[in-house]
Structure 1
Amino acid sequence: MSFTGSLVLSGIGGLVYKYGGQQSERETEVPVGFQSLTIGFFQARIRVFRTRLETLSRTFWRQLVETSGYKYPIRGVSEMFRSGAYFFPWARAFAFYLVLYLTIAFIYFCTILPVYLALLAFLGPIGFAIAYLHFLLHSNMLTMMVMRFTQLHNSLFDLALVHNGKEIFVKTAIQSPTLPKRYYVPLNTYYFWLNYLPWRIFIFGFGFTVLIVLLLISFIPIIGPFIFNALISPFIARIYFSRFLRLKKLDNKQRNDEFYFNFGTYVSFGFVAGQLEILPFVSGLIYSSNSVGGGLFAIKALDSEHAAAPSGATAAATAAVSGSQARQDTTVA
């Protein structure tokens, strides 16, 4: 029950995270014509995949180390406990974590733990110790799956920016009436029924299968939760960085590009953040410090963008060309 309940709550939170806080806009450049709806569709998917793969192979290892993403979860801990400004937000998040963890742990204790005790009974006292330790780690892992989608980290992320000199950026973004766009494909098109819907079903089915495999790995006594968090590390970072990308008003296509074009950075940050979230109770605090660490990394990114910003005319021309190309290749991505 704790396992199923965690999946359901994570799924609901994931839907809110994916679709909430945005304005829907109809996709205008929907492919038409026989060639575009057949071989052209697959050519576009292959082109997107090849572009992302080439970018990953060229930048992954450099981003993994040079961007220093792995340092920011640690810096988040230092920043959060050094300033009293973060106290009430992290205390609120920790209180919610406690309630959630104790609930999931209790259900786990009554349902799944007896299975481990029976399977490991042949090891004697050592088997019982392994079962109970895994119970603590695994129930915490399931709790954190839900916690990351609560979006309680948004206030801490914003506070980290405000507390470190980016108040204007945060206030401007929040007060702006413009929400990030999420493009959708209209139902009354051949493209939706012949290409988009079957493709999305395949993608969601593949993703669900991968998730089930990862969750099965997490059932390995003691080391399972460590492996699980390591394997989902880029997606952990994606959740913590999502607030930044939405404050920048990036649409869903641009956010996808950010993820793949900076994959090494996401792995670097997410791996350390995920491993710090392993221990029960401590992870309730680390959830908040990782949010602060994400804010500190966003400050670094903003400073880098400001330093490298081209002239207005050049920026406008570059944005126009990039946007046009992105729409051609990632329509419906």
Structure 2
Amino acid sequence: MSESSSKGSSVPAKITETAKEEAKEFQKQTAAALRSGAYFYPFKGIAYLFSHRSLWKPLLSRLAPTMGLGLTITTFMFLFTYLPQLAVLVFTSGPVAAVTTILLVLSESSTLTMVLSKALLIEDALIDTFDGTLVARGETALVEKERQVKGGSAGDSIARLGKLVSKPFQKFTPSAVIRYFMYLPLNFIPVVGTVIFVLLQGKKFGPNAHSRYFQLKNMSKLQKEKHVEERRGAYTGFGVSGVVLEMVPIAGILFAFTNTCAAALWAADMEQAAGSSPELRDQAKKAA
């Protein structure tokens, strides 16, 4: 057998081996995500936000301009992207292409609204929601590392929040939008493509949801990477649930706040687990 034919025959074998390794890693992370229960936090965030009226204040203060932005983006997307995408989906979705395209454009509009509103309109409101949730959970000392917190006589958890020392969220950069449009063609693959799209988005979404927590903990880049890697499955599980909620048309902006509340609840649980007995810490580590 010639050297060239030997190399040629080894290529499919390497592809198969790589595919098997990726499949094993996916199964491992999926199992870790399910064991952690982190995927349920976004739903806990919904219940917690609705049951704590004081945490509504940041959301209500930004609701009108954000809804206006969402309406503008949705109108633009239907006017300029519906027909081109319909032409493509006719070949993959057949007779239901019209409905599929509407859902796709709504999802795209919701995602773009989230990206732009988080960067331009609701950054401070999300920080207040995160910090206010931590204060409500008794983690005042953690929040005080990066902002002033007034005494309990000042009022509810949001009213107690004082001046910020620094902000954790990055200002608008095109990278988030570019990444989104890079993954967007996956949605043209029925079912499977959408699942992969959500997984890829969720993998990034999870750690980003804790950017404020990492700042409050004063973690270095290396510490953050280690923290996330040790909980990769849990963060992906959280991220997938959060992404799915924020993809819901119109209601996505509301879920941005409930997801922030959820991230703070998870951070509070981490803090409480870390400050507990060695036995409980071991249990928390295994769960994460």
Residues 262/110 of structure 1: CA separation in 2 closer, same or farther (3 Å cut): same
Mapped to 2, the partners of 1:280 and 1:260 lie a distance apart of 32
Residues 133/173 of structure 1: CA separation in 2 closer, same or farther (3 Å cut): closer
Mapped to 1, the partners of 2:141 and 2:245 lie a distance apart of 31
Return 110-119 or 262-271, whichever deviates more: 110-119
Mapped to 2, the partners of 1:134 and 1:61 lie a distance apart of 26
How much has 1:85 moved relative to structure 2? 0.6
Residues 80/226 of structure 1: CA separation in 2 closer, same or farther (3 Å cut): farther
How much has 1:95 moved relative to structure 2? 3.2
The one-letter code of the counterpart of 2:140 is E
- Out of 205, 228, 239, the residue aligned to residue 197 of structure 2 is 228
Q: Does 1:95 align with 2:68?
A: no
The one-letter code of the counterpart of 1:168 is A
1:257 is matched with 226
Contact 1:93 1:288 in 2 (8 A): no
1:170 is matched with 143
1:138 is matched with 108
- Out of 260, 264, 281, the residue aligned to residue 295 of structure 1 is 264
The one-letter code of the counterpart of 2:46 is V
The one-letter code of the counterpart of 1:232 is Q
- The CA deviation string for residues 83-103 of structure 1, in whole angstroms up to 9 with x for no partner, is 111112122344343123222
The one-letter code of the counterpart of 2:239 is G
Alignment of 1:55-204 (within 5 A): 60=29, 63-119=32-88, 126-149=96-119, 151=123, 152-175=125-148
Contact 2:74 2:109 in 1 (8 A): yes
Contact 1:226 1:278 in 2 (8 A): no
1:247 is matched with 216
- Out of 275, 280, 283, the residue aligned to residue 249 of structure 2 is 280
How much has 1:70 moved relative to structure 2? 1.2
Residues 292/128 of structure 1: CA separation in 2 closer, same or farther (3 Å cut): same
Mapped to 2, the partners of 1:84 and 1:179 lie a distance apart of 26
Mapped to 1, the partners of 2:64 and 2:205 lie a distance apart of 21
Residues 228/178 of structure 1: CA separation in 2 closer, same or farther (3 Å cut): same
Residues 256/124 of structure 1: CA separation in 2 closer, same or farther (3 Å cut): closer
**Secondary structure at 2:134 match in 1:** helix
How much has 1:221 moved relative to structure 2? 7.2
How much has 1:139 moved relative to structure 2? 1.5
Residues 104/180 of structure 1: CA separation in 2 closer, same or farther (3 Å cut): closer
Mapped to 2, the partners of 1:208 and 1:95 lie a distance apart of 23
Residues 301/105 of structure 1: CA separation in 2 closer, same or farther (3 Å cut): same
The one-letter code of the counterpart of 1:101 is G
The one-letter code of the counterpart of 2:205 is I
Contact 1:179 1:249 in 2 (8 A): no
- The CA deviation string for residues 196-221 of structure 1, in whole angstroms up to 9 with x for no partner, is xxxxxxxxx9x999765413214557
Question: Higher relative contact order by CA 8 Å / sep ≥ 6: 1 or 2?
Answer: 1
Unaligned segments of structure 1, at least 5 residues? 1-52, 182-204, 310-333
1:324 is matched with none
- The CA deviation string for residues 14-56 of structure 1, in whole angstroms up to 9 with x for no partner, is xxxxxxxxxxxxxxxxxxxxxxxxxxxxxxxxxxxxxxx9xx8
How much has 1:66 moved relative to structure 2? 3.3
Contact 1:73 1:290 in 2 (8 A): yes
